[in-house]
Amino acid sequence: MSRPDAPLAFVPQLKPRVWGGERLKARVADPPAEPVGESWELSDVDGSVSATPDGVPLRELLARHGDAIVGDGWDPARPGRFPLLVKLLETRQDLSVQVHPDDETAARCGLGPAGKTEAWYVLDAAPGARIWAGLEPGTDRGALERALARGEVARVLHAIEPRAGDAIPVPGGTVHALGAGLELVEIQQTSDVTFRLWDWGRVGLDGRPRELHVREALEVIRWDAPPPAPAPPRPVAQDGAARRRLIDGAPFVIDELAEFDEGGAPLDTGGRFRIVIPVAGRVLVVTSGGRLERTAPDLALVPAAAGRWRLHGSRDARVLLVQRPPA
């Protein structure tokens, strides 16, 4: 990192998954032979810390320039750790039915300093693809336990038929499962705590049934939470581009930018990092410390120290802009 205000790129990390496919293998020169379900594009999770193209780990960058990169966007529960994790997902099969703890439950149950709230941005959805998110109204612990015993979990899950461009918030404590035929961007808190409730009776890549965590999952479900739904976008004032807010609130804010003017969109970090994720077309990130071209879906991290910066987009560019919410 030549300057702490220069935009940063990172090398994708592919994760073989029994439910994955083949498309994400194009992200790297030497992909694994197994199906790939996830490409971790920006991560500070132990054992999967991202690195720049010249091999510098994100954690080393944070040790040297943490406040310049993150600014006041740190998660107080995880000081010194980058607070967000960005993935690309491809689903050829249904994922397991699972749940992650929210912040309060993670702290109460000793599951780590904070929970795992996430959001999905749908890049593509095959006809008939589904997402299960939340429980059907009236489903209590007893009803879910009976459904698990009968192998009829899908009957008590709230189903969504996603479309490309949908943004779906998934608060910690929400029972959920992605169906087959989806490509998504997933943005979440930096955590890998997952409890599987049900896995459709299949086996993993090793030929054995995957471990379930029913007792733990039942303890972290938010039984009173309404089922999530695609968030209605709302316009946000922005020079040089059309901007819409997709997800608003803790622990992250997600905007979509498109229809860029020739001069690009003037932006300001406001003392907090920004993550730029082009989901279509090409972008050019220009800060006082450097320039970085990105082609969908390659992301860029704009350090807090960049201050005023500019985002240029091709005619067909569509970009997710991710930030921590204001203090």
Residues belonging to the active site: 196
One-letter identity of residue 184 = L
Q: Using alpha carbons, select from 107, 168, 110, 88 the residue that is nearest to residue 134.
A: 168
CB 121 within 8 A of CB 175: no
Question: What secondary structure letter does DSSP report for 209?
Answer: B
Please tell me the distance from the alpha carbon of residue 319 to that of residue 234, in angstroms, as a whole number: 15
List, in order, residues 6 or more apart from 325 with CB less than 8 Å away. Answer: 248, 249, 250, 251, 252, 253
Name the region of 134 (left: φ>0; alpha: ψ -120 to 50; beta: rest). left
Please tell me the distance from the alpha carbon of residue 211 to that of residue 196, in angstroms, as a whole number: 7
Run of H or E residues at 82:
none
